[in-house]
Amino acid sequence: MDQGTEKFYGDAKKHWESIPPTVDGMLGGFAKISPTDINGSREFIRPFITMGGGETETNRALDCGAGIGRITKRLLLPIFKEVDMVELSQNFLDQAPAFIGEEFSRVKNRFCSGLQDFCPAEGHYNVIWCQWVLGHLKDDDLINFFQRCQKGLSENGLIFVKENVTSDEREFDSEDSSYTRSLDNLRSLIEKAGLKILLDRKQKGFPKSLYNVYMFALW
């Protein structure tokens, strides 16, 4: 790993180590958007899974950049029998049992890893959910991560992405060492990874002061 890349990932790790393990911390001070976010994600995923008439089973899901488990608790555990979490900060993972509560017994694995280094077990997950975390990957690492995720899917499995997007050029945030990519840039990287976009949709109901947020279903 070259020095620039090492600094890019190291700065992100330092940033998240300074963030409190709360929903407000996970959402950068915007805890109030969490219900709208979860509702939008639930509506988006439902047509693809068996309970909504789709073909994707609901046995196992992976929450990427899971934090303390906001998405695990409120989106994935109500749908899937088992959920695994992968998260850069051990502190966040340590807080997950208390935050998630009694349903934590269905969280089978907590992996402490950056996504640039993480490799899902092959053929294991019905759904891999990636939200507000892919900006922490450099382009080549994102492409490689997508390809590893594709191998990690079971039959009829899907990858879901939910990310901020810019209206023009991608932007770099030096505070948390992340990129916010344009819609075209994100679509291009998805295609370079060999994935197909089955559906994309803009999240509704967020404050106008925030970036636009798009959801993707990928296969």
Residue 70 among known ligand-binding residues? yes
Strands (E), 113-152: 125-131
The pLDDT tens digits of the residues spanning 172-216 come to 999 999 999 999 999 999 999 999 999 999 999 999 999 999 999
Euclidean distance between CA atoms 126 and 122, whole angstroms: 11
Residue 14's CATH number: 3.40.50.150
Please give the mean pLDDT across all residues of the chain: 97
Structurally, the chain folds into a number of domains equal to: 1
Whole-number percent of the chain with pLDDT over 90: 98
Nearest to 134 by CA among 195, 198, 47: 195
Domain that holds residue 188: 3-218
Euclidean distance between CA atoms 88 and 133, whole angstroms: 10
Pair 194, 150: CB distance under 8 Å: yes
Give every CB contact of residue 92 below 8 A, 6+ residues apart in sequence.
Answer: 16, 21, 26, 66, 67, 68
Residue 115 among known ligand-binding residues? yes
Is the pLDDT at 133 greater than 90? The verdict is yes
Euclidean distance between CA atoms 90 and 181, whole angstroms: 27
Euclidean distance between CA atoms 194 and 207, whole angstroms: 33
Integer distance in angstroms from the first to the last C-alpha of the chain?
29
Pair 126, 61: CB distance under 8 Å: yes
Q: Report pLDDT for 202.
A: 98
Pair 18, 48: CB distance under 8 Å: no
Residue 135 among known ligand-binding residues? no
Q: Report pLDDT for 1.
A: 77
199: helix, coil or strand? strand
Is the pLDDT at 2 greater than 90? The verdict is no
pTM: 0.98
Alpha carbon distances (Å) from 64 to 113, 129, 167, 176, 204 = 10, 6, 25, 17, 22
71 burial level (CB within 10 Å; 0-12, 13-18, 19+): buried
Rounded mean pLDDT, 10-29: 96
Euclidean distance between CA atoms 180 and 164, whole angstroms: 6
